[in-house]
Amino acid sequence: MTNDDLLKELSRDQLKGLSRQELIELLLGEQKIRKQIEDQRDQAQEEKILLEEKYVRIKIKIFGRSSEKSPRTPDRVRGKKGNKKSRQAFSKQLSERYPNVDIREENIELETPPICNCCQGEMTDSGMTEDSEYLTVIPKKFLIVRQKRHKYRCGKCHSDIQTTPGVPRIVPGSAYGDDMILDIALSKFCDLIPIERYSMMAGRQGVKKLPPNSLIGLTHSLAEFVHPVYEKLPMEIKSAAVLQADETPHKMLEGHEKSDWYLWGFSSKRGCYFEFHDTRSGDVAHEFLKDASCRAILSDVYCGYSKAVRISNEYRKENGMPLIRAAYCNAHARRRFEEARPTPEMLERGIKDEAQFYIDQYKEIYKLEGDANEKPLEKVLEIRAKMLPFFEEMKERGERQLAGLSKKSAMATAIKYLINNYDGMTYFIKDAEVPIDNNSQERLLRNPVIGRKTWYGTHSIKGARTAAVLFSLVESCKLNKVNPREYFKELVQMIHHRKPPLTPWEYLQMKPHH
C-alpha cells in the first residue's frame, strides 16, 4: 500500500492525531517512492533503447550491405543515364577491348556456292566478309613433360660420359613443374581457391587424386624460393613519407600453444607487407616504425598504434630522426554514426535521427575529397581546407548533445569517438599525402580475411609464414596494377638466372611502357 492510499484511508481524527513532523515525513516518503518508480521506468526505457540499438548493429553486421555508399534516391536512379565513356568502351569490338587476348580467325564458307536470286547463275566468292567476334575459353590443360637430357660420350678414349644439366626448377627433382607450382599457389593466394578444391577441379579434368598435402607443401617451397624479394618489401615501404597500418585476427589451428594470432599489415603507395604474430601488442608496430622514414602513420584508433607511435618517437628523438604523427581513419567515425541511426520502428515511436546530421556532414567532406583526387599537392590542401568548417560544426554540435544522451548509447559513443580523436581525424587536412581514411589498407587485408574464412586459419607457423610471403607479393602486385601471374613467372626466371629479384613496384618501373 502506497502512502497515497494510506492517506486516503486515514480518517480526519487519525490525521489530527499525527504531529506536523509525522505528516511531513509521510508526504516526503510518498514523493521519494514516486521518484524511485519514475527513475526505474526511465532506466527500463533507456535499457530497452540500448538493447534495440545493439540488436540493430548486430543485425546490420551480419545481414547488412558490405558497401559503405549511401543508397541512391529514386530520383537519382531514374535520372542516371550511364557513363558515356563506359558505353563507348562497351560498343568497341572485343579485339579492341581486350588487345592482349589471342585471336583465332575462322572462315565460314558454303560447301556449294549459292544460286543468284536474280539470274539463277552460280555465284563466286567476292573476297569480302562480314565480321563478328565472340569471347570463348579453352579449359585448363594438364600436361606431363618428359625431359630427355642427352648424354655425350668420348669417341676417342671412351672413358667419359657427360649429361646435359637439368633445367633450373623451384623444387629440383619434384614431380611438379614450375608452372604447376605457380598455378597452385596463385589459385590459393590470389584467387582464394582452397587446395582441396583445386585437387577436385583437377580430378574433373582427368588428373585424379592429386594429394592436397603435397600441393600445400609446394606453396611452402615457393614461399621459401621467393623469400629474398619478400625481405626487400619492408625497406621499400618504410622509405615512404606516409604509412598505413591495420591488423586482423587469425586462427592458428595447431602447431602452437596460442590459437589467437594476428595478421599485421603495413603499406605505402609502393607495396604491402604482412607479418603474423601471436600478439596484438603495439610492440609489433613499433618494431616496424622505429627505423622508418615516414612522418605520419594512418590507422584506426587502436591503443596499440598510439603506444607504437609514442615509443617509436622516443627512439627517434634519441637518434635525431623526425617524429611521427598519428592520423586516424575517418571511415571508422562515419561507420559509428551509421550504426547509431534509429530503426524505422524507433522513428515511428518519435525517436529523432540525430546521426543524420553527421552523416550529411561527412557526405560533403567526401565530395570535396573526390574533387581533390589526382590534383597537385598544393591544390589538394586548398580543397581540403574547405572541410574544416564541417568538422568544427560536428565537434561543436557533438559537445552540446553529449549532456543529453545516455553514456552507453551508440550515438554518444560515436560522438565521443569523433571528439576524443579529433586531431588525428583532421590531420589529413594539413598533409596532402595522408589519405582521408584507411580504406585502401583494409582492401589489402580483404583477401587474407576471405581466405581465413575459406580455410579457417593455418595449421602451422610455417603455413602462416607462407601466407604472409605470398599474400604480401600478390597484394603488392594488385596495388601496382601488375598481373600477379605474369610477375611471379618472371620473378622465378630472375631467381633461376641469378638476377636480382624485383619487387612488384621495381618490376613496374622496368616495364617498357612505364
pLDDT at 460: 86
pLDDT at 13: 57
Domain assignment of residue 5, given as a range: 1-33
Average pLDDT, the chain: 85
Q: Is residue 4 part of a domain?
A: yes
Beta-sheet pairing, 260-267 with 272-277? antiparallel
Is a pLDDT exceeding 90 seen at residue 258?
no
In a domain, 1, yes or no: yes
Q: Which residue did the predictor score with more confidence, 82 or 363? A: 363
Q: Average pLDDT in the 35-52 region?
A: 69
Give Dmax over CA atoms of the chain in angstroms: 145
State the pLDDT confidence band at 334, using cuts at 50, 70 and 90. very high
Domain count, the chain: 1
Residue 79 clears pLDDT 50, i.e. is over it: no
**Residue pLDDT, tens place only, 202-234:** 999 889 989 999 999 999 999 999 999 999 999
Torsion angles phi and psi, residue 217, rounded to 5 = -60, -35
The confidence score (pLDDT) of residue 40 equals: 74
Residue 20 falls inside a structural domain: yes
- For β-strands 161-163 and 151-153, DSSP reports them as antiparallel
- Chain segment 471-507, per-residue pLDDT in tens: 999 999 999 999 999 999 999 999 999 999 999 999 9
Say if 23 falls within a structural domain: yes
Query: Does residue 350 lie in a domain region?
Result: no
Q: Give φ, ψ of 105 to 5 degrees.
A: -85, 135
Q: What is the percentage of the chain residues whose pLDDT exceeds 90? A: 48
pLDDT at 77: 47
- Where does the pLDDT of residue 8 fall: very low under 50, low under 70, confident under 90, or very high at 90 and above? low
**Nearest-angstrom CA–CA distance, 321 and 309:** 13
Q: Starting from the edge strand earliest in sequence, which strands make up the sheet with 296-299, in order?
A: 272-277, 260-267, 242-251, 296-299, 325-328
Strand partners, 454: none
Residues 6+ apart with CB under 8 A from 209: 199, 203
Q: At what angle do helices 212-225 and 178-189 cross, to 10 degrees?
A: 100
Q: Helices 330-339 and 410-420 meet at what angle, rounded to 10?
A: 160
**C-alpha angle 381/386/391, rounded to 5°?**
110
- Cβ–Cβ under 8 Å, residues 417 and 336: yes
Residue 367 counted as domain residue: no
pLDDT digits (tens, 9 = 90+) for 421-452: 999 999 999 999 999 999 999 999 998 888 77
Could you give the CA distance from residue 459 to residue 378 in angstroms, rounded to a whole number?
50
Contact 414, 355 (CB under 8 A): yes
Closest CA to 494 of 235, 232, 240: 232
Residue 175 domain flag:
no
Most confident segment among 48-57, 237-246, 338-347: 237-246
In this prediction, residue 5 carries a pLDDT of: 54
- CB-based contact 363:378 (threshold 8 Å): no
Estimate to the nearest angstrom the gap between the alpha carbon of 478 and the chain centroid.
12
Is the residue at 3 inside a domain? Answer: yes
Average pLDDT over residues 192-209: 92
d(CA 362, CA 358): 6
Q: pLDDT for 100-139, tens place per residue?
A: 788 888 888 888 888 889 988 888 888 888 888 878 877 7
